[in-house]
Chains A and B, each alone.
Chain A
């Protein structure tokens, strides 16, 4: 198996792990955290750009890497960087939850990167679920009213029962 084909996903997965550890051990410092995450996201764009020309299939052709998927990965990485740069005035999230917010955003980005490369129902299902789980948790993270929590629960339950994601 050629691990080199999925370097962008592996990079963002490593960022996820890093953010998970940091969110558990580091004292929150919004300014420093944001700068660090933006730098990591910018490096992610570079990684995605460097792997644009890769081609091949993995996992018995259930996962396909080609120009189409790599271009979309670059777009996703750029979008992630832009979203993070909008977070300078992030008043809706508690300071102590910032790192977890970035962690969930990164997870969602990884899941969408998996989704654009998926070539079989199984991988599409796993990628979609991964992206929706982090969204379920992002909704009630907002500080303030009870509406956010209620909306999170209703989002989860209605998407489980209703048309699948």
Chain B
């Protein structure tokens, strides 16, 4: 493995932090969904790095599955957001406060 495993983990951690900030701090629902997807991809990078580090290819297969399922999930999420936009006329997440008490 040419790239040291520590660097891969650093990259995955940085990407995860970016996704976390995007998911928590942004107010646009699409951006929140995007942040969650970035976190999933960061986990995928860690998986691939570990698969190379220990020479076990199951990790890469797993990442392929995660990517396919993430694609399905993002389509579900976007459909939900479109539905919510039609109902409430807003994709700003601070306007979704009916469940607060």
Contact = CB atoms under 8 A, between A and B. Distances in A.
Contacts, number: 67
Contact of A152 (B36, B62, B80): B80
Interface string B7-32: 00000000000000001000001001
A157 B99 contact: no
Contacts of A145: 98
Nearest to A148: B87
Interface string B44-60: 00000000000000100
A129 B39 CA distance: 17
Interface residues on B, range: 20 to 34
Task: Across the A-B interface, give the 3 residue pairs with the lowest CB-CB distance, nearest first.
Answer: A160-B36, A149-B84, A150-B96
B87 A129 contact: no
Interface in A82-97: none
A145 B76 CA distance: 20
A53 interface: no
The majority secondary structure among interface residues of chain B is helix
Given A122-B62, A129-B73, A157 B32 contact: yes
A147 B99 contact: yes
Contacts of B99: 147, 150-151, 154
Nearest to B81: A153
B96 A161 contact: no
A149 B80 CA distance: 8
